Amino acid sequence: MNDLGLSPSIPTKDTYNSEYEGFCFQADGLSFRSRRAKKTPKKQGYFVAFWEKDTNNKNIPFSFEAFPDKLVISVIDGPLSGQFIIPKSVLREKKILKHKGITGKMALRFYPSWETSLNKIAQAAQKWQCDYFIDTTNIIQKEKLAQLYFSSSSINNKKP
C-alpha cells in the first residue's frame, strides 16, 4: 500500500480464526478485515473461515452493522497469488454477513481467475468474486488495486 502513497494502520490480530492469519487494519479512512485462504486437497478453490463469538461463546457470522468496510482475502498458492477485496455491501447482498433476517455465513470458498473446470455452483461464485479479485502473481496493477481497496464499486463499475 505504500506504493499507493498510503500509510495503513498497524494491523491488529483477530482474536478468532488465527489459522487463517486474521487481522484488521485501516487505511485512507476505511477499515478492513483480512484473512488468508487455504487450498484444500479434495475441492477446488480456497477455503476461509470468518466468524466471531457471541456472549455464550458460540461461533456466529459477522454482522453487517459491525463489519469493517471491506473484506480482504489473500490467496498464496506456490507461484500464484492474488487478493479478493470485497465491500461489505456486496457481502450483505451475497448473504455472507448477518443482517435483518439473513443468517450469514461463517466460511466461504473463493475461486481466483486461475481456477478452471469448476462445477456450476463454483462457476457462479467465481463470476461475482472475480469482480473483486486482483491477480498479483506477476505484475501488480496499481490502478486496479487502488480501485478495489478504496472505491465502493467493483472494478467493472457495477453497483454492488
Question: What is the structure's pLDDT at 4?
Answer: 56
157 part of a folded domain: no
Per-run averaged pLDDT (10 residues), the chain, 160 residues: 62 83 88 94 93 93 94 96 96 95 95 96 97 90 82 51
45: left (phi > 0), else alpha (psi -120 to 50), else beta? Answer: left
Residue 160 lies inside a defined structural domain of this protein: no
Query: Over the range 74-104, which residues count as b (16 or more CB within 10 Å of their CB) and which as e?
Result: bbbeeebbbbbbbbbbbbbebebbbbeebeb
Range of the domain at 118: 2-150
Per-residue pLDDT, 149: 83
Query: So what's the pLDDT on residue 110?
Result: 98
pLDDT at 141: 78
Assess if residue 54 is contained within a domain: yes
111 occurs within a structural domain: yes
Number of other CB atoms surrounding residue 27 within 10 Å: 17
**Residue 119 within any structural domain of the chain:** yes
Residue 64 resides in a domain = yes
Q: How many domains does the chain have?
A: 1
What is the domain-level CATH number for residue 16?
A: 3.40.1350.140
Give a yes or no: residue 159 inside a domain.
Answer: no
The DSSP secondary-structure symbol of 106 reads: S
| Per-residue model confidence (pLDDT) at position 154 | 46
Q: What is the pLDDT of residue 50?
A: 86
